[in-house]
Structure 1
Amino acid sequence: MLKSVFIAIKKQFAVADEEHGGNHENALRLATAALLVEMGRADHYSDGDEAALILELLRDHFVMESEDVGALYEFATEKADQVVSLHELTSLLHRSLDEEERGRLLEMMWRVAYADKRLDPLEDSLVRKVADLLYVRNTSLMKIRERVMSAIDQ
């Protein structure tokens, strides 16, 4: 039963090229989730806090039911396993998101990076690479980081 539900949701989130009738919104969700999964893996350490935070961020950002978020997370994990280049994930996001939305994505990435209360150099490198691919200026990225750090300190 659960497998058939997962397969159905996996099909729902299947990424197809926009010109070939793919569901654009689901492709954006998948790309966002896969980047967050990559961020969670960047420091090669996971105690479950990062995964729980990613699920929470996805649920709140996309206003989804927990079951749907779980399926998206599983599919995003598969997608992240298959990705050869970050460009595969960021190109659609760059074309589709405005500056504010790209900032929200980077804010979610910083939150995942700081889930364990420390920033690993690999996490820092990943979020900077993604920001570059999304054409977000370094000054904007640092403001977003400071905002996240301030929220953590409170």
Structure 2
Amino acid sequence: MFKAIREWLQMEGLVEDDERQFGPDDHRIAVAALLVHLVAIDGEITADERRVLREVLADHYDLTTEDTETLVKLAKERDDEAVDLYGFTSVLKRVLDEDGRKQVIEMMWEMGYADGRISEFEDNTVWRVAELLAVTSRERIEIKKRVEARLENKSS
């Protein structure tokens, strides 16, 4: 009943709907939540990590600044509510093909290197997510090396 009332209020423009751009089952929220989780896993969120989070999401999904902020907000909410990573990865495994799942791992490595180094917690999280997404260890390491090389070329 409350959902119906909220939907009616949103249609009338009386309440903002942060999920207008992102439906409740939108896989982009699951990806963003994994990235948000990864950023926070070492206990410190730097300004560089915040910036890279937004850049990675905006570039990968071709989002406006406003949509990116909405996605990050929704992702933080979902990550706060989550009890494990499986809830996110099960959605991604269901809707993404093999290349799409590998792109998620690539985005995670990009996030991990946002502060210049991969912590053991970040490395372990990427490993667990890759396993849940059926990305092999070999593929995960190849993606990591590709991201490292790209970031080295960028800084030169």
After TM superposition, the score normalised by the length of structure 2 is 0.85
Equivalences for 1:20-39 in 2 at 5 Å? Answer: 24=25, 27-39=26-38
Equivalences for 1:99-138 in 2 at 5 Å? Answer: 99-138=98-137
Gaps of 5+ in 2: 1-12
8 Å contact kept, 2:21–2:67: no
Alpha-carbon offset, residue 10 of structure 1: 3.2
Across the aligned residues of Structure 1 and Structure 2, the Cα RMSD in angstroms comes to: 1.8
Q: Structure 2 vs 1, CA of residues 64 and 115 (structure 1 numbering), >3 Å: closer, same or farther?
A: same
Alpha-carbon offset, residue 151 of structure 1: 1.1
Equivalences for 1:19-58 in 2 at 5 Å? Answer: 24=25, 27-58=26-57
Alpha-carbon offset, residue 12 of structure 1: 4.7
Cα distance in 1 for residues equivalent to 2:116 and 2:58: 22
- Number of residue-to-residue matches in the alignment: 141
Identity between Structure 1 and Structure 2 (%):
36
What SS does structure 2 have at the residue aligned with 1:126? helix
Give per-residue Cα distances to partners, 1:94-128, cap 9 Å, x unaligned: 11111111111100100110111111000000000
Larger of the two Rg values belongs to structure: 2
After TM superposition, the score normalised by the length of structure 1 is 0.86
Q: Structure 2 vs 1, CA of residues 144 and 67 (structure 1 numbering), >3 Å: closer, same or farther?
A: same
Cα distance in 1 for residues equivalent to 2:98 and 2:39: 23
Higher mean Cα deviation, 140-149 or 6-15? 6-15
Task: Write the letter of the residue equivalent to 2:22.
Answer: F
- Name 2:150's counterpart in structure 1: 151
Alpha-carbon offset, residue 52 of structure 1: 1.0
8 Å contact kept, 1:6–1:71: no
What SS does structure 1 have at the residue aligned with 2:17? helix
- Name 2:6's counterpart in structure 1: none
What SS does structure 1 have at the residue aligned with 2:42? coil
Alpha-carbon offset, residue 6 of structure 1: 9.0
8 Å contact kept, 1:9–1:68: no
Cα distance in 2 for residues equivalent to 1:60 and 1:72: 13
Matched, 1:88 2:87: yes
Alpha-carbon offset, residue 7 of structure 1: 3.8
Give per-residue Cα distances to partners, 1:46-101, cap 9 Å, x unaligned: 11111111111111111111101101101111110110010000001011111111
Q: Structure 2 vs 1, CA of residues 51 and 5 (structure 1 numbering), >3 Å: closer, same or farther?
A: farther
Gaps of 5+ in 1: 16-23
